[in-house]
Structure formats: C-alpha cells, structure tokens
Structure 1
Amino acid sequence: MKNRPFYIIILMSILLMSSCAEKESTEFAFQDLNLSVEERVTDLISHMTLQEKVSQMRYDAPAIKRLGIPEYNWWNECLHGVARAGEATVFPQGIGMGSTWNAPLIHQMGIAVSDEARAKHHAFAKAGKRGIYQGLTFWTPNINIFRDPRWGRGQETYGEDPYLTSRIGVNYINGLQGDDPKYLKVVATAKHFAVHSGPEKSRHEDNYQTSNRDLYETYLPAFEAAVKEAKVHSVMCAYNRYRDEACCGSNLLLQKILRDDWGFDGYVVSDCWAITDFWEPNRHGITDTAPEAAALAVDRGTDLNCGSVYDPNLKEAVLKELIDESKLDIALKRLFTARFKLGMFDPAEDVKWTNIPYDVVASDAHYTLSEQVARESMVLLKNENNTLPLSKDIASIAVIGPNANSKQALLGNYHGTPHQFITPLKAIEAKLPNAQIHYALGSDIAEGWPMLTPIPSSVLKNGEEAGLKGKYYKSIDWKGEPAFVRNDTLIDFIWMPEKPISGLEKDIFSVQWTGQLVPEEDGEYRIGLKASSGGKVYFDGELQFEFKDDHEPKTRYFDRILKKGTPYDVTIEYFNYHTDPQAHFVWAKKDQDLLTPAIEAAKKSDVVLLFLGLSPTIEGEEMPVLLEGFDKGDRSDITLPKTQIALMKEVQAIGKPTIVVLMNGSALAVNWAGKNIPAILEAWYPGEFGGKAIADVLFGDYNPGGRLPVTFYKSVEDLPDFKSYDMNNRTYKYFKGDPLFPFGHGLSYTTFAYENLVVDTEIELKKGIPLKVDVTNIGRRDGDEVIQLYISHIDSTNDAPIRSLVGFQRVHLKTGETKTVEFLITPKQYAELNEEGQPEFNQGSLTVNVGGKQPNFNGLADAETTSVLTKTIVLK
C-alpha cells in the first residue's frame, strides 16, 4: 500500500475535475433547471451588455457565445402548412380553411403542421442550421377581418366574420402551440394587430379611423379570443396607423387593450420593416430619426423588430436617454421567456416535442388530412337542375381554363413546397381513365398576364448542346472556383430535399447559367425567372432585372420581340440563402391564339369544365402588378378578368353542358355565370390535393358541404371606399344590398330539414340562452350540413347589425339520419355595443335564426338544399 498517497492524489484530482465540470455546466443561474422560467430569464438578462441586449431584439439574433446563447432567427411561416422550409404538406389557403366551417378539423390541421414544424426545426438544429424559416416562432395566423373583397391578402384570412374567424383562429393556435403545461410546441403569432386589411399599396402611410363600436364589434374580437382563449404567445403589429398612432407604436393597441385590458403576457413583433415607416419620407412621419423610432416602438410595447431599426439604433437611443435601458429588459424578458418555454435551453429529453420523428413531414397521414380539409373547403354555389355530380361514364370532356393545370393556383401565398401538385387536369385524367380529355388553356389569367411555362431545351443552346451551361458555387456570389460545371437542359429546379451541391453545411450556394435562346417562332415573348432568394438575368448583353430577399418564389420578367432562328445571349445568375431553393427559367408567347383551341376542345366534348378565377401571382401582398382590374396586389374591380369572361361566353355559346370551377382567394362578381352557367363550384386555392378534391366533388365521390366565409357582391359599386374602415354597408352584418351569394351560402347533393327548435321565448337579461334543434338529412346522399345560428335585435335603436353569427357546427348525416344540435348564446353575444364599444343589455325582442344558411334570401342567393327556423325571444 506504499502507493496509497498516489491513489489519493488521483482520486482527489478526479473529484476536483468533476466539481469543476459541474461548476462549468451551471456557471450561470439561468442554466439551473430547478429555477422558474422567470428567475432564469431574469438572470440571463442581467449578464448581458447593452449591445448584447440590442442584438437579441432583432429577428435574426446572433449568438452570444460567452453566455452559451445560440443564434436564433425568429422569422418563420406556417399560414397553411410549414412554409419556405423545403418540402412540407401544403393545406388549403386560409380562406379555404375558413370555408370548412369546421373548427375541430382546423385544430387537427394545427397539430399536423406543428408536428412538421418541430421535426424540421430539430433536423435543422442538428445540422447546425439556425437561419430564417428554421426556428419555432411562426408568424401565423392572419386573423384580420376580410372586410372588403378588393384586399389581395384577404386570401390569408378566415373571412369577414369576427366569430367565425375567432373559432377557426383559436383552434389553429391551440393545435400549433400544443397542450403541454410546461413547454410550447411552437409559438403562434396573431397578426396584424389591428384594423388592417388594405389597401396594400398605401399600407405604409395610411391612418385609419373607426368608431369604438366598429373597433370592438369587428376588428378586435378575433384577437381578444386568441389572447384570452388560445393564450397565443405572440402578436404582430400592423404597418398602418390607427387613430394617428403607428400600430407598432400604439399605446392604445399595445398597452391599454392588449396588455392592460386583455392581460396578454407574450411578446409583440413588428411587421417586417414596419418601424422604418415611422420616419422615412412619405410614410407615417411620426419621428425624425431611426433612434427615435426604435425608442418609441420599444416604449410602446413592440419587443422584437423584424427589420434593421433596433440594431444599432436602440443602443444610441439608450445612450442619448431617449429610452431607459430597463425598457429593453422588459422586452428581452418577454422574448427569452418564449425561448425558454420552447425548451431551447433545456435538455432535449425533457421536452416531449423533440421526440417527433422527421417522417411525419409530408406523411401519408398528413396527406390524408390535407385532402380532407380541401374537400371540406369546397363550396357549391349553384347547381341548376342537378347538373352535378357528373357521371364517370362520360365519353369525352373538355378541361379548359388558365387554372385547369396551374400549380400556383393550388398554393396561394405563404406556402410550402409540396412533393406533388395535383392540378384539376391531373386529377380528372386519373378519375376518368377511359374518357377522352381535351385540354386547352383558353385564355391568359388576365389581359397582359400570360401563363408562363419552363423554356424548353429545344430553344436553349450551349454550343452544340441543348440547354444552358451551369456553374455551381459554394458561395453566395459566384466567387472562386465552381464546385462543378454541367449542362442543364431545362432550368426548372426545386432542389429538395437535397441541394444541388453535396456537402453544403449551410443553404448557401449560387449558380450561373450561360448560353443562347433561339426561338422557333417570331413574336412578342414574356421571359422571366421564377426563383427564391435572389439573382440577375442578362439578355442579349443587357441586365433585364435584379432581385434579392425573395422569401417566396416569385417571377420577375421582361417583354421582348424575338425573331425566329436568331440566337440571343442569356446569362442567369441565381443565389440562394434559405431552405427552399428554386429556380425556373420561364416564358410565354404573348400573341398566341388561345381561344380557338379551346373552342375546338369544347365542340368535340360531351361536357365542358371551365377552370377560371384568379392567381396568387396577381392578388397578394404588396405586388408590382398593374393590370386592368388589379392594383399592386389588390383589385380595383371584383369581376372575373375580361379574358376569362370572353372565354366563358364563347364556350357557353356552343351549347354543351358547361360547369365553372373558380380558384381564387377572394370573392368574385360572377354575375354572368350566375345567370347562364348551370353549375358553379368555388374551390379557392385548395392545396396540393386540391385538384383531387375538386374532381371528387364534380364526379360525386364527395358531397360538398363548405360554406362561404365572405359575401359575394355583384359589383364594386356596391362597396364603400376601400380606405374607409367604417363598417356601414360592409359584410353580411351591415350590407343593405342584394348579394350575388351571401355569407354562409353553400349547396349540397342532398337536402336537410330542420324541426323542433327548442328555446325559451322569454329570457332574463344577462342570462345565457340555451337552444337545441333537430336536423335531418332527407335526401338520397350522405352529406355534411353546417348549422348556422344568427341573432338580430328587432328593437335596436343604435344601428345594430342586420344579424350576427353566434354559433355554428358542421355535422355529418347519413341519409334519413337526424341529429340534435345544441347551442348556448352567451350574454356577451347578445349584448348591444354602445358608441363607446361597451356592452349594453337592453330589454326588447331578439330574433333567433337557425339553419343551414342566412334567412330571407330568394333566387340564386337562396340555398334550396337547406332551410331555416326562426323564433323571437323577449329579453326582460
């Protein structure tokens, strides 16, 4: 044992090393898992320098290595599926989600989307990727009220009604954020707070005014429900001003209403670069400098900046005493509370959401759910003489229209990239393998807006080879030696799941394509590059356009008259910096005769299917689109574009049975179709399985049950000024005219009857009103019915709404089946709001309408496959 001292020394060394290691792992109190989140966050912030604090208030927050804080990018999107992060399940656009009138289904969708979000995030983090669209904080849902059909972003919303919007929104948020009492699954963000729904082109300068009644009756209820019921952890403030205050610097919105009145304890993020609008010329003009803007926004409650104002300007603002550093600490506490609640500073094994396997992404189960949401979003607007469903034994059919084979019309905006695009044409071909299918484009989506397709290899030349020469670089700027060089016959790339260059540690690369375009016909052509991230296109030696920071694949283009057989030099420089790299070199001949082939297709077919509508390439967020009827993403008219109206009239005149399918993000005044086309189906932007859902409805494999979440007006002349946020004569609640199709409208292939409405005829004020009703499927097909409950104040003296939706439920009924559906109208729902927006309980009569539609419509606006029961209640 003479070596005992040596062993003792070794043992003591081991113990000392162990103690040091333990001390190193818990060097800071915020690393102690036994402390509360509040204590950990407070400690973490106490160790930060001013510059470090400022750096963590920008959306692309850098790492603080000395504190063990990894970099984090707060910007992510999942409007209708995980977006901009590679392959994901693409569900129907928001307006389609609203048209399901099925809140529990949207909750299931939220669970599926957040499963994919978690799986993707952990895969990215494992690979050391922490960039844009790779985090767990999602800027969804858009719960603004779609008050005017001209708004291009209305497609992102759940419609025009505050109650329907709140039910869909609350359920989606709950599905996203999860049910764990300790850890958030993801953070959802209710946007855009508040009083925000166009116009797009002036959103950076507009100052909106409303009455208190309109504010509390229309613009706030969905946000209040998101905060109080769903406990949404983030809110995004809007670009515009409201009552002279910028929404991202509004004491009324962000402090009084959001935090004081509603008790919101999450964080507020600015819309992207909204705070630059505070001082930039021809915008809000509420501050003179960037530091003043940063100080004002933080002081009023905007914690996180999507943009570049806070860093470095907040540091200057503190040093100049424009704002106290303690205000930064408040914002940081909110931000890091979210990161801690997401489990980002805890062992993975403690956070159950880290166990979600990657194979949930684009899984069969999620595909099935996406298809179900698409089916339930279909709204049958008209079905004269039971034109639909069609027989599958049909011998020949014409499939015509700009949306018949459009991939973009499936997606809408803020979308992911699907593995497959089931367009209506593809679905009909699969549905009718024995039929002759005659396809024709028929028309452009609008005059001056041709449908662009990939430029074929037959007209691209790289020396003696067909195609273009591609040099692929591991840098973002085409610098250094290329990783490889090859000939690409077609520039039509979606690089998923692998990037074009193997071994990339980040999603950063660039490609330069060179060669010549040699057209086979004379004519005027539109030539473009649809791509994500950024790039340049040179044609015949001249730069045609340059773009960068494209978060979603968009098309830039130029028009040029080309001569047959003449070679034109082409150089395309593309770079990528995020996780959804795409590049498509596209074109269209502008002077083509599209109508003649459509007429020929219709003449040799037994039935004609016209796929008309709009496109997210011309309606959407702040777009450089100036066409007749369109205005920078919004619309100046609400009819179909003239090219499509002409196509429809020419085809209908042939005399073949003709059905119109609409694919669009907003209401259309399809008046001529309403009078002359026997069947009209509204399909919205229905997701990657949209074509299959459409075909299932058209050919009777699914009985449609969707309902309109917006009013279809007959003319833009029926609408108030677009910039007016006064709700007078807007939406079904206040519109005094005759709609083409009313809110809540939708037909079925079966018929539903209502009876036994049970409700007390006298109710004590401030007491709830329970009621129940029996609904029976009296038709010959199983189907879904959406029971809608409306109330109207008969004796109101303060211009109460014509009627208000206060309950709904979607039920499936087999032929001959009866179900009893129960509702409870709460006192808050039947209270009238006074001029201050406060509830008042007044004695008088209240009309209750329950059924599958609004009451009191005739003709085309009436849904004959359902009915309504009415009772009058006396409030005492």
Structure 2
Amino acid sequence: MVGAKSRLNLVAVFFLWFVSSSQFSHVAAEEEESRSASLAVFACDVADNLKTVSYGFCNRTLGVDPRVSDLVHRLTLDEKLGFLVNKGIGVARLGIPAYEWWSEALHGVSYIGPGVHFTNIVPAATSFPQVILTAASFNASLFEAIGKVVSTEARAMYNVGLAGLTYWSPNVNIFRDPRWGRGQETPGEDPLLASKYAAGYVKGLQKTEGSDDSDSLKVAACCKHYTAYDLDNWKGIQRYTFDAKVSKQDMDDTYQPPFKSCVVDGNAASVMCSYNKVNGIPTCADPKLLAGTVRGKWKLNGYIVSDCDSVKVLFNDQHYTKTPEQAAANSILAGLDLDCGAFLGDHAGTALAQGLIKEADVDRAITNNFATLMRLGFFDGDPRKLAYGKLGPKDVCSQENQNLALEAARQGIVLLKNDRNSLPLSSKSIKSLAVIGPNANVTKTMIGNYEGTPCRYVTPLQGLTAVVSTDYVPGCGDVACNSIQLDQAKKAAAEADATVLIMGSDQSIERESLDRVDLLLPGEQPTLITEVAKVAKGPVVVVIMSGGPFDISFAKSDHRISSILWVGFPGEKGGAAIADIIFGAHNPSGRLPVTWYPQSYVEKVAMTDMNMRPDPATGFPGRSYRFYTGEVVYGFSEGLSYTTYTHTLMEAPKTISMDSGDVSPGFKIRLLVNNTGKIDGSHTVFLFWSPPAIHGAPNKHLVGFQKVHLRGRESGNVVFDVNVHRDLSLVNEVGDRKVELGSHVFHVGSLRHSLNLVL
C-alpha cells in the first residue's frame, strides 16, 4: 500500500527484488533456438569442409594482407557485392558462413542490433552505468577496465553462438547542447575527456591479452557518429536532413579530437559516419572526411561503416544525388566500406554496370572488411581452439563483473550540494527514511539506452531499504509527473528522520530521436520537491537521475534542501551505489562532465547553431565551459566530497624557449595533493590551461586529469607531463594549429601558475 512502512512490507519488497533479478524482459527467443545456439559462427571449419585446408585465406601462418587478397580473388562479383552490407552473405563453396556485423556494446553487451541474442544459455550481461556517468568518474583506467569486461562477455557469448565480434561502440560525439537526447551516450562536452574515454574504452574492448600479435583483436570497436553529429529531433528538425554548419576552427578543436584519438591512440578497428550533412555534404559521401582524414591522415586500420540506412537517407531524404546508383557510388568512392542496411547491396552492382565505380573500388571496400574479420580470428577455424575459446556462459555476469558495475556507478555519482554536511546520513541515527519520487523504484530507467538485459537490478528503494527502514511514496505516476500524490508524500516526509527524493528523467524524456526543448524537470516534479521540503522533519536529499543536465536552481537555492546528487543513469547496480553514497559507505568523487545551464540559456540559443565560440554581434553566448562565460547552475568539473583537498605546486617552469628545432619542448608540472580531512577518498586533479587571448582562444581548456585515492590526512604526488605542441597549441580561424608565444596560465583548483613561451 502506498505510504505503508517498509518493515510491514518486507515480503513485498523481497518479491519486487526477486522479480527484477530473475525476470529478463528480452529473453524472447524460442526454446528450440536457444538449444541450437551452441556454436560460434566462423569460417575455415576443416571439420565441415576439408577443402578449406588448401585455401590461402585459411592459412594462419600467412599475414593478413595476403590472406585477404587470396579471399577476394576467389569471389565472384555478385559475392563481393554481398559483403558490402551488415548482413554479410555466406559462400558455402568456400566454407564462409553468413555474418552479422551489427552488434552494440555502449555500456555492456546490448540486445540492440541483430547480432546479439539473449537466451536461456546466456540470459543477461553486465549492464554498466550509461557512459555520461562513467565519464563523470574522470578515471581513465576505469574506462578501459569496463571495456575489457564487456569484450570478455561479448567473446563468451560469441563462443556459444549468441553474439558477433564487431561492436558499434563507443559514441564519442561532443555533448554540445544540453538538450540533446543522446548526450547520455557520450563522455560529455570536453574534447580531452571524450578523447581519453574513446581511447580507453576502445583499448579495453580490443586489446588481446597474452598475444604477441599487436594486430589481433579481441572484439572490434567502432567510434561513432562521425562527425559533428549532436542533434536528433529538435522542434521538428531531424538528424536525417540536418546540415551542420561547422567552422574549420570548431571542427578541428572540438568535434574531431575524440575521433582522432579513437583511431590514432585507441587504434579503433572502425569508424561510423553519421546521418547528418556537414557543410552541405553527407558525411558518408564526403571523401575529405572519410578517405582523406580517417583513412589518410589518421591511418585507420579497419573499416568505415555507415549509420544504419545513411546511404539510403542521403538519396531519399537529403536528395544529394539524382539516382540511387550515384548515392552508392559516391559513398564507396568517398571511402565507405560497409553499409548498415541493404542500399549498397541493392545498387552498387548497377552503379558498377553504369561505370560509376569499378570492381577495384568494391575490392578495396571488402578488403577492409575482411581484414578486420581476419584480425578477429574469424577465418582461423574453430574458436574453441583459439585464444578465447574457453570463455563461455560462466564468464558473463560474474560477481567480479557486477562488482565493477557497482564501483563504476559509485565513482561517477556527483555530489552537487551538501549544506551543513548533511551527508552522509548515519544508519545509526536515521531510523526511518522517506523515499519519494518517480525514479525511486525504477529498474530499466537505470540502464539508459542501447542497453542489454542486466544481470540483476538493485533499485534505489532496494538499496536504501537494505540500510534503514523506508516509507516509499512514488509521488508521481511516472517521470512526466502530470499529477502528484502530494498529501501522501508530505506525510511520509513529515514523519521520517530523513527524506530522499529521487527525480529526473527517463527515455520518454530524452533519447535517440528525441531532443528536449527545455531544461526544466518534467511536469510537477519541482512542486513535489519544494512542497515536500517545506514539511520534512529531517534533512532532504534530492537525487537527479538523468542523462542530460537540468536547471534545478530552485533546489540549489532552497535552504530546506540540504543535499543534491546527480546519478546519471547508474546501471544495474545503481540503487546500491546511491545508498552507498548517501550513507557514507563510499565517499563521492564524481565531477560533472557537462555544464548545467540555466533555462534562460536554451531560450536564446538555437540547438541548430553549431558554433562553439561566442559572437558579440549576435549575442550568441558560446558553448561549454571553454567558451561560455555566463551564469551556470553548476559548472563543468564541479562536484563535492565528504572530505577536502588542497594542492601545492612543487615544480613548474616559468619560461620555455621555443627555439628547439623540430622537437616539441616538454615539461612537468608536479603537485602535492593533501587530503585534509579524516575520511578516505578519491580526488580528480584537473589541469586547466588559459592561453593568450588570440584567435578566439578558449577561456580555459582541460589539458590533463588524474584521479588519486588518499586516506584521511594523507598526501600524494601528481605529475603532469605537458608537451607544448600537443597540449598548448591553438587552432586558428582557418583550421591551422599553432603555438602562440606569450603568457600561458595553468589552473589547478585555486592555484594559478604563469608560463611564458618565448623564442
């Protein structure tokens, strides 16, 4: 019964927990299909086809290039065309089975895409926090650790025929506008953070353990959506027809760095081009972006794939070409290798017959595709006899993997307000807790989008009830909160020793194909929060569960609201992590990866304006902490802890001479970090840089971050290695990157240090 004391409802709570932990909503495969899903899909199966022994492409002693060349030369033209699409055909005469390229692993193995199936053999996989919360940890080693677990579970599922080897993740687009529905999938607004996340997660997915072959892949990652893609559906403007007008300066210093890092630093096996046009040209048909930059400048070792039906979209929706054959030809000639969809398969043959492309162009594309599968071991025979052959269902949803999901949520949660040090609550003094809000007992909301079936949910209510007695009132029927159960909520708060309001959004508010039009909490949520806070007997904690930021100025300024937490979409163990933070089992260390703007910002800024830099002539205020200097609700990198830290500069040069020939000068910034409190905690040290005010330079720019764990009263050293050309160069108005002479200022917390660059 709504509002009833939880100790009288332990049976009901246990039942909810049992259902959420044992019911897997997407196990829809028939039993017969489940029984048959026992073997991986692979080529060169000697047991099935003895002829494969004589094929060069099956010879593991040869290098990738000669093996791929041998395979391509054995194929007919029709067969070649069948390998241009995600549903790759099988060639029985050569012992090659059909292969599905499309699988997803944004924050765990996902059932989105046809390449993955959950059955009774493997009913679930570890569901980590949505990317935006993991990014808030600012822990580069965590990014890679999650990728490693996800790839292990992916390989385990592949071995029993339930998954592929090519995963179209991560999403490394810049979270440019706070209204973007897919911002939740990204690492945030900062190019360095997004770059570090991209490289780290990709390395975790792809790196093979115990192999001398640096070219081999555990699974193949894919960085998407290239490029300047950050609008889905805003006020009727659709991603399928949106033309992103981007300056060379913004392109090179904001939109491109995460993709460059993904390819150059992470060695990603794939890049996905996006739906939108950039400066009038569809990205999937732009030779400068694909063949010129990704393949040419960045030296991609892998394949370029379209977002699903993007080639079809550039013909049908964007009307970029007059015929479908021209659309197919333009994309292939631009550097596209694989079409997610059937368009290339349907029209590339005709394009070839019309002389728009040559067979050599098709050969080039499928060569890149096959080379990736070679590196994955797809053509090495039975995977049970290969490096990851012993992985299986036992390696999915292991306790160790689930513990990492919990730790990731803990590290990402951001404490935004903590007046009077109200948190952490004491489980000894707090005997009753009012738990109120539409997100207080949610399950699927916690895992965001591009999700898979999770191992086991722990809802916020379950997590809190495991610590103290709770009185649960939903307050609203759902996050839309069109009507509120105010009397019941106020009664619970007035009687409880403390109140936790768990509010925010879900996929009905922000998601792919749905951007927000404002930054306000939905419906009557602000009223519910404010009215409950007025009558609450004890401290009031507001928890915002969301992908994007909200204007919660009313809660920030309300003295009756003691604490505010942002928990993102915290993954399958989100409820346990929230309880750990609130009751002090874990000291919060997350920091915001995006700026939280006031509502007034979006009232005057069109989401379609791609400019990052302010324009005084038009009143455009700029975007992100790098260029926007106006009022914020909470700023990028903000976040509190249950302890305090100080920084002392130990070493940094005051002058650097640039007269060093072709060698870029480098130097160290050495800091002493001190935990001045009694509580152990982790702390992110941010190194910001303010360059000379020239060429529309950012106000400040993140050039490094490190996360350290310090016991109470403990000190530790942090060292940043700074390369002048890499870290202190500016992109000018025409897209050239140069180092400017003069005063460069570094910021670490309240510290300021000036460096003078001279000839």
TM-score (norm 1): 0.75
Residue 139 of structure 1: how far off its partner (Å): 0.5
Counting only pairs closer than 5 Å after superposition, residues 147-546 of structure 1 correspond to structure 2 as 147-179=176-208, 180=211, 181-200=214-233, 201-280=237-316, 283-347=317-381, 348=383, 351-393=386-428, 394-432=430-468, 435=469, 437-447=470-480
For structure 1, the 5+ residue unaligned runs are 1-18, 451-591, 623-632, 852-867
Structure with larger Rg = 1
Contact 2:479–2:504 (Cα < 8 Å) also in 1: no
Contact 2:272–2:306 (Cα < 8 Å) also in 1: yes
- 1:662 corresponding residue in structure 2: 544
Residue 21 of structure 1: how far off its partner (Å): 12
Q: What amino acid does structure 1 have at the position aligned with 2:687?
A: L
Q: What amino acid does structure 1 have at the position aligned with 2:755?
A: I
Residue 223 of structure 1: how far off its partner (Å): 0.7
Contact 2:686–2:706 (Cα < 8 Å) also in 1: yes
- Select which of 89, 111, 118 maps to 2:155: 118
- 2:633 corresponding residue in structure 1: 740
- 1:529 corresponding residue in structure 2: none
Residue 62 of structure 1: how far off its partner (Å): 2.1
Shifted more, 184-193 versus 56-65: the winner is: 56-65
Q: What amino acid does structure 1 have at the position aligned with 2:578?
A: I
Q: What amino acid does structure 1 have at the position aligned with 2:409?
A: A
- 1:843 corresponding residue in structure 2: 741
Provide, for residues 200-242 of structure 1, a one-character-per-residue CA deviation record: whole Å limited to 9, x for no partner: 3510001111111110100011111111111101000000001
Q: What amino acid does structure 2 have at the position aligned with 1:60?
A: K
Q: 2: distance between equivalents of 1:314 and 1:271?
A: 17
Counterpart check, 1:762 vs 2:655 = yes
Contact 1:445–1:614 (Cα < 8 Å) also in 2: no
Q: 2: distance between equivalents of 1:77 and 1:727?
A: 30
Q: 2: distance between equivalents of 1:49 and 1:55?
A: 10
Q: What amino acid does structure 1 have at the position aligned with 2:689?
A: I
Q: What amino acid does structure 2 have at the position aligned with 1:101?
A: F
- Select which of 684, 694, 700 maps to 2:568: 684
Give the total of aligned pairs: 676
Residue 768 of structure 1: how far off its partner (Å): 1.6
Q: 2: distance between equivalents of 1:730 and 1:350?
A: 52
Does the residue aligned with 1:431 lie in a helix, a strand or coil?
coil
Q: 2: distance between equivalents of 1:323 and 1:109?
A: 42
- 1:507 corresponding residue in structure 2: none
Contact 1:151–1:197 (Cα < 8 Å) also in 2: yes
- Select which of 712, 716, 726 maps to 2:596: 712
Counterpart check, 1:604 vs 2:495 = yes
Provide, for residues 801-832 of structure 1, a one-character-per-residue CA deviation record: whole Å limited to 9, x for no partner: 00000000011000111101000121221012
Q: 2: distance between equivalents of 1:23 and 1:659?
A: 67
Q: What amino acid does structure 2 have at the position aligned with 1:184?
A: L
Counting only pairs closer than 5 Å after superposition, residues 858-873 of structure 1 correspond to structure 2 as 868-873=750-755
Q: 2: distance between equivalents of 1:20 and 1:783?
A: 56
Shifted more, 294-303 versus 141-150: the winner is: 294-303
Does the residue aligned with 1:167 lie in a helix, a strand or coil?
helix
Provide, for residues 744-801 of structure 1, a one-character-per-residue CA deviation record: whole Å limited to 9, x for no partner: 01100001011134201001224123110000001010001100000001x3221200
Does the residue aligned with 2:671 lie in a helix, a strand or coil?
strand
Residue 83 of structure 1: how far off its partner (Å): 0.8
Does the residue aligned with 2:416 lie in a helix, a strand or coil?
strand
**CA gap 1:27/1:762 in 2 versus in 1, 3 angstroms:** same
Contact 2:484–2:524 (Cα < 8 Å) also in 1: no
Q: 2: distance between equivalents of 1:239 and 1:284?
A: 10
- 1:648 corresponding residue in structure 2: 529
Residue 409 of structure 1: how far off its partner (Å): 2.1
- Select which of 612, 629, 646 maps to 1:727: 612
Contact 1:137–1:186 (Cα < 8 Å) also in 2: yes
Residue 173 of structure 1: how far off its partner (Å): 0.4
- 1:785 corresponding residue in structure 2: 683
| Percent identity (aligned) | 37
Residue 182 of structure 1: how far off its partner (Å): 4.4
Residue 602 of structure 1: how far off its partner (Å): 1.7
Contact 1:374–1:693 (Cα < 8 Å) also in 2: yes
Q: 2: distance between equivalents of 1:321 and 1:597?
A: 73
Contact 2:473–2:488 (Cα < 8 Å) also in 1: yes
Provide, for residues 600-651 of structure 1, a one-character-per-residue CA deviation record: whole Å limited to 9, x for no partner: 22222121110011112321101xxxxxxxxxx1110011113101111111
Contact 1:768–1:825 (Cα < 8 Å) also in 2: yes
Q: What amino acid does structure 2 have at the position aligned with 1:112?
A: V
Provide, for residues 501-546 of structure 1, a one-character-per-residue CA deviation record: whole Å limited to 9, x for no partner: xxxxxxxxxxxxxxxxxxxxxxxxxxxxxxxxxxxxxxxxxxxxxx
- 1:823 corresponding residue in structure 2: 720
Residue 276 of structure 1: how far off its partner (Å): 1.3
Residue 108 of structure 1: how far off its partner (Å): 1.0
- 2:81 corresponding residue in structure 1: 54
Contact 2:422–2:563 (Cα < 8 Å) also in 1: yes
Q: What amino acid does structure 2 have at the position aligned with 1:639?
A: L
Contact 2:439–2:479 (Cα < 8 Å) also in 1: no
RMSD: 1.8
Q: 2: distance between equivalents of 1:783 and 1:20?
A: 56
**CA gap 1:103/1:20 in 2 versus in 1, 3 angstroms:** closer
Q: 2: distance between equivalents of 1:155 and 1:322?
A: 41
Q: What amino acid does structure 2 have at the position aligned with 1:155?
A: Q
Residue 716 of structure 1: how far off its partner (Å): 4.3
Residue 321 of structure 1: how far off its partner (Å): 1.4
For structure 2, the 5+ residue unaligned runs are 1-45, 112-116, 119-123, 614-621, 659-663
Residue 258 of structure 1: how far off its partner (Å): 1.1
Q: What amino acid does structure 1 have at the position aligned with 2:417?
A: K
Does the residue aligned with 1:745 lie in a helix, a strand or coil?
coil
TM-score (norm 2): 0.87
Q: 2: distance between equivalents of 1:23 and 1:397?
A: 68
Q: What amino acid does structure 2 have at the position aligned with 1:334?
A: N
**CA gap 1:870/1:299 in 2 versus in 1, 3 angstroms:** same
Does the residue aligned with 2:305 lie in a helix, a strand or coil?
strand
Provide, for residues 70-114 of structure 1, a one-character-per-residue CA deviation record: whole Å limited to 9, x for no partner: 110000011001111430000000001100100101111111110
- 2:697 corresponding residue in structure 1: 800
Counterpart check, 1:144 vs 2:173 = yes
Q: 2: distance between equivalents of 1:440 and 1:429?
A: 13
**CA gap 1:250/1:731 in 2 versus in 1, 3 angstroms:** same
Q: 2: distance between equivalents of 1:648 and 1:367?
A: 32
Q: 1: distance between equivalents of 2:572 and 2:388?
A: 26
Q: 2: distance between equivalents of 1:756 and 1:727?
A: 32
Q: 2: distance between equivalents of 1:188 and 1:706?
A: 26
Contact 1:160–1:709 (Cα < 8 Å) also in 2: yes
Residue 63 of structure 1: how far off its partner (Å): 1.0
Q: 1: distance between equivalents of 2:152 and 2:508?
A: 29
Residue 266 of structure 1: how far off its partner (Å): 1.3
Contact 1:146–1:157 (Cα < 8 Å) also in 2: yes
Residue 313 of structure 1: how far off its partner (Å): 1.1
Q: 2: distance between equivalents of 1:218 and 1:684?
A: 24
Q: What amino acid does structure 1 have at the position aligned with 2:357?
A: I
Q: 2: distance between equivalents of 1:620 and 1:822?
A: 39
Counting only pairs closer than 5 Å after superposition, residues 560-709 of structure 1 correspond to structure 2 as 594-622=485-513, 633-656=514-537, 657-676=539-558, 677-709=561-593
Does the residue aligned with 2:557 lie in a helix, a strand or coil?
helix
Q: What amino acid does structure 2 have at the position aligned with 1:687?
A: G
